[in-house]
């Protein structure tokens, strides 16, 4: 039983954020690898748009599954210069993205916690 | 990726290993910046270079970085006029390593920065995982 | 079918407060359902229980997959949270229904 659509949305966004974190980690780890181009994944709006229509009553439909639909692609950053080695990872950009991931992820988990508490107070009273 | 957060930690730990290998080689270069040969006309310490490569890990879905190889720099050696030196050739010149201290130090700074960036990734992943598991903790 | 808790709990309370017998309570509950207007209470409870069992089972499967490394952390946490909430809901409904039944059975006829 899924009382709230919010839960599903929050978890789906968290999955997307986790995948973005993985791509950011790859970029940072390969910051000195010659020829490596920084990658990013498509935006959350894109991902949501691709999985429409969402019908609330079908639980299967809303679960994100293995997330294989989210593909990493290169060439995201607007102010990364390509170095002599062919590497274009900018650590500052990656830190910025990383901070965004952390903020959104904490907000989602706090929202989830709050709504979960609310539901618990309804069922326990 | 089955679990992107674990994959992030894996990518970061490979990064840490690669950067620490790089720092080891750099410190070898710095330590041997003045190491000459022992016999007349012998070659001195030859600068080492680390090359990285990236490999896509298909289960994890991340690009892992690895040390490709550690090669020797083929740049020419410096020479200095030191006639009394054991490694001096018949003209009195000694071959010195092709290590430029400034380049090595600058490289060391960059390696250190990359290393720190990777540790920050691991710290952030740890916090994200902890937050998620915390959701299951009974509140009140 | 998915009943939201918000929809369900005021009607359960109403059933308890009415205490005059099952018939008016059932029709009150029946009219509150958005999906099937004429469903009776027993059917509602049965489908709710089946739903709950399915959610809890799914929670178990996902948790095991997570332990084997096949599911992501978010999926595991989501499935377990939903299983927990479902169980709490079912227990709350059961308690209310049992309480209502006991109250009704205590009535002097």
Nearest in space to C18 (alpha carbons), one of C28, C6, C31: C28
- Partner B contacted by C72 (CB < 8 A): yes
Lowest average pLDDT, out of B17-21, B57-61, B87-91, B130-134, goes to B57-61
Per-domain residue ranges for chain B?
A: 4-134
Residue B81 has phi, psi (to 5 degrees) of: -85, 105
Which of A12, A24, A25 is the best substitution to test chain B (most B C-beta atoms within 10 A)? A25
Q: Judge contact between B121 and B8, C-beta under 8 A.
A: yes
C69: nearest CA partner in chain B: B2
| Chain C nearest C-alpha distance from A93 (Å) | 26
Confidence class of residue B120 from pLDDT cuts 50, 70 and 90? very high
Average pLDDT of chain C, as a whole number: 73
Residues of chain A with C-beta less than 8 angstroms from the C-beta of B127: 102
In terms of Cβ atoms closer than 10 Å to its own Cβ (0-12, 13-18, 19+), residue B125 is buried
pLDDT at A1 over 60: no
Distance (Å, whole) CA C20 – CA A104:
51
Percent of chain B predicted with pLDDT > 70: 99
Is pLDDT of B20 > 90?
Answer: yes
pLDDT of residue A52: 62
pLDDT digits (tens, 9 = 90+) for B58-94: 888 899 999 999 999 999 999 999 888 888 888 889 9
Q: What pLDDT, on a 0 to 100 scale, did the predictor assign at position A67?
A: 44
**Interface chains of chain B (3 or more CB pairs under 8 Å):** A, C
- In this predicted model, which residue has the larger pLDDT, C42 or B56? B56
pLDDT of residue A2: 54
Query: What is the mean pLDDT of the segment spanning B109-133?
Result: 96
Q: Is A51 on the interface with B (CB under 8 A)?
A: no
A91 contacts B118? CB cut-off 8 A: no
Give how far A89 is from chain C: nearest CA, Å: 27
CB pairs under 8 A between A and C: 62
Q: How far is B38 from chain A (nearest CA, A)?
A: 36
Report the first-to-last Cα separation within chain C, whole angstroms.
Answer: 37
Long-range (24+ apart) CB contacts under 8 A made by C102-109 are C103/C16, C103/C19, C104/C19, C104/C21, C104/C22, C107/C19
Residue B51 pLDDT > 70: yes
Closest CA relative to residue A80, chosen from A93, A69, A68: A93
Predicted pLDDT of residue B140:
58
Mutation choice for C interface testing from A1, A17, A68 by most C CBs within 10 A: A1
User: How far is B98 from C28, CA to CA, in rounded Å?
Assistant: 91
Res A45 pLDDT > 60 = yes
Distance between CA C40 and CA C87 in Å, rounded? 22
Least confident of A44-48, A120-124, B121-125, C7-11: C7-11
Evaluate if residue A51 carries a pLDDT over 80: no
Task: Give the per-residue pLDDT at B103.
Answer: 94
Give me the pLDDT at residue A80, please.
60
Asked whether the predicted pLDDT for residue A79 surpasses 60, the reply is no
Question: How many structural domains comprise chain A?
Answer: 1
* C31 vs C58, more confident: C58
- Those chains having 3 or more beta-carbon pairs within 8 angstroms of chain A are B, C
What would you report as the CA-atom Rg of chain A, rounded to the nearest whole angstrom? 18
Looking at residues A26-35, what average pLDDT do you find? 93
Residue A86: the pLDDT is 82
* A116 chain-C contacts, CB cut-off 8 A: 81, 85
Cα-atom radius of gyration of chain C, to the nearest Å?
A: 17
Q: Which residue of C has its CA nearest to A3?
A: C4
pLDDT, position A124: 76
Average pLDDT for C66-83: 90
| Cβ <8 Å between B5 and C69 | no
Q: Does the pLDDT value for residue C64 go beyond 90?
A: yes
Closest chain A residue to C83, measured at CA: A1
Choose from C73, C78, C81, C84 for mutation: most chain B CBs within 10 A: C73
Higher-scoring residue by pLDDT: C24, A121: A121
- Give the pLDDT band (50/70/90) at residue A98: very high
To the nearest whole Å, the CA of C23 is away from the closest chain B CA by 39
CB-nearest to A117 from B19, B113, B139 is: B139
pLDDT at A25 over 80: yes
**How far is the alpha carbon of A43 from chain C, nearest alpha carbon, in Å?**
19
Give C7-43 pLDDT, tens digit per residue: 444 444 444 444 444 444 444 444 444 455 556 888 8
Handedness of CA A17, A23, A25, A28 (dihedral sign): negative
Q: What is the pLDDT of residue A125?
A: 63
C81 CB near a chain B CB, below 8 Å?
A: yes
Q: Is the pLDDT of residue A65 over 80?
A: no
Interface test with A, best of C2, C78, C97 (most A CBs within 10 A): C78
Across chain A, mean pLDDT equals 79
Domain that residue A75 falls in: 5-124
């Amino acid at each position: 039983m899924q009382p709230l659509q919010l839960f599903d949305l929050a978890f789906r966004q968290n999955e997307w954020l986790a995948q973005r974190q993985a791509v950011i980690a790859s970029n940072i780890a390969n910051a000195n690898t010659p020829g490596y181009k920084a990658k990013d994944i498509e935006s959350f709006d894109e991902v949501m748009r691709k999985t429409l229509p969402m019908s609330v009553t079908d639980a299967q439909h809303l679960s994100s599954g293995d997330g294989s639909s989210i593909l990493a692609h290169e060439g995201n950053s607007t102010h990364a210069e390509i170095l002599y080695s062919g590497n274009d990872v900018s650590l500052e950009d990656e830190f910025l993205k990383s901070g965004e991931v952390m903020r959104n992820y904490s907000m989602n988990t706090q929202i989830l916690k709050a709504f979960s508490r609310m539901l618990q107070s309804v069922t326990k009273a | 990726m089955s679990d992107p957060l674990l994959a992030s930690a894996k990518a970061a730990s490979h990064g840490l290993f690669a950067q620490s290998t790089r720092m080891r080689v750099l410190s070898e270069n710095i330590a041997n910046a003045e190491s000459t040969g022992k016999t007349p006309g012998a070659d001195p310490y030859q600068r080492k270079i680390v090359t990285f490569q990236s490999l896509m890990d298909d289960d994890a879905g991340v690009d892992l970085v690895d040390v490709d190889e550690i090669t020797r720099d083929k740049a020419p050696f410096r020479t200095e006029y030191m006639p009394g030196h054991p490694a001096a050739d018949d003209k009195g010149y000694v071959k010195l390593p092709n290590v430029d201290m400034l380049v090595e130090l600058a490289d060391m700074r960059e390696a250190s920065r990359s290393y720190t960036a990777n540790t920050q990734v691991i710290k952030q992943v740890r916090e994200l995982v902890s937050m998620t598991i915390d959701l299951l903790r009974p509140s009140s | 079918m998915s009943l939201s808790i918000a929809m369900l709990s005021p009607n359960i309370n109403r059933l308890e407060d009415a205490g005059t017998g099952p018939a008016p309570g059932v029709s009150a509950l029946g009219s509150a359902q958005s999906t099937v207007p004429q469903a009776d209470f027993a059917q509602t409870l049965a489908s709710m229980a089946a739903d709950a069992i399915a959610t809890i089972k799914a929670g178990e499967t996902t948790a095991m997959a997570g332990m084997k490394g096949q599911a992501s952390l978010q999926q595991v946490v989501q499935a377990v949270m939903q299983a927990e909430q479902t169980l709490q809901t079912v227990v709350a409904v059961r308690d209310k229904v049992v309480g209502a039944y006991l109250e009704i059975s205590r009535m002097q006829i």
